[in-house]
């Protein structure tokens, strides 16, 4: 049982390049999330999708776009990467909107460096 799978694990981009971070879950969860983790900043919510067909902005959405491709997959796109987007990106999913006994399940992250 793979859980939440993120690809790639590592990526180096030059300023201005674009890329898509992929995330897939095999737990039949309805809700999916993208977070970024920066030193001293904790986990910050970029975008989320409460159910298939819906997406909403989180705390730090600028510079990103998302696509909920189907129930399993939720991708994060950087159209024009900037050094400030150097971070570790985590995808997560939950069975229901995460209230109490429906916790988030996280992937192992994508470490992105923008030079």
Partner 1 sequence: DQQVKQNSPSLSVQEGRISILNCDYTNSMFDYFLWYKKYPAEGPTFLISISSIKDKNEDGRFTVFLNKSAKHLSLHIVPSQPGDSAVYFCAASEGDKIIFGKGTRLHILP
Q: Which of 62, 77, 88, 71 is nearest to 10 (CA)?
A: 88
Using CB under 8 A, which residues numbered 36 to 95 contact partner 1?
A: 40-45, 48, 50, 56, 58-59, 90, 92
> Does 35 engage in binding with partner 1 (CB under 8 A)?
yes
Q: Strand locations in 8-109, DSSP E?
A: 10-13, 19-25, 31-38, 42-49, 56-57, 64-68, 74-78, 87-94, 105-106
> Does 101 engage in binding with partner 1 (CB under 8 A)?
yes
> Does 27 engage in binding with partner 1 (CB under 8 A)?
no
Chain positions contacting partner 1, by CB under 8 A: 4, 31, 33, 35, 40-45, 48, 50, 56, 58-59, 90, 92, 97-101, 103-109
């Amino acid at each position: 049982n793979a859980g939440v799978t993120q690809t790639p694990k590592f990526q180096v981009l030059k300023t201005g390049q674009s890329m898509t971070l992929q995330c897939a879950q095999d737990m039949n969860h309805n809700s999916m999330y993208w977070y970024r983790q920066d030193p001293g900043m904790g986990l910050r919510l970029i975008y989320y999708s409460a159910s298939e067909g819906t997406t909403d902005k989180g705390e730090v959405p600028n510079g990103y776009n998302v696509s909920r491709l189907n129930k399993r997959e939720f991708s994060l796109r950087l159209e024009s990467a900037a050094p400030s987007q150097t971070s570790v990106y985590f995808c997560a999913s939950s069975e229901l909107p995460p209230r109490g006994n429906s916790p988030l399940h996280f992937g192992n992250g994508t470490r992105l460096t923008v030079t």
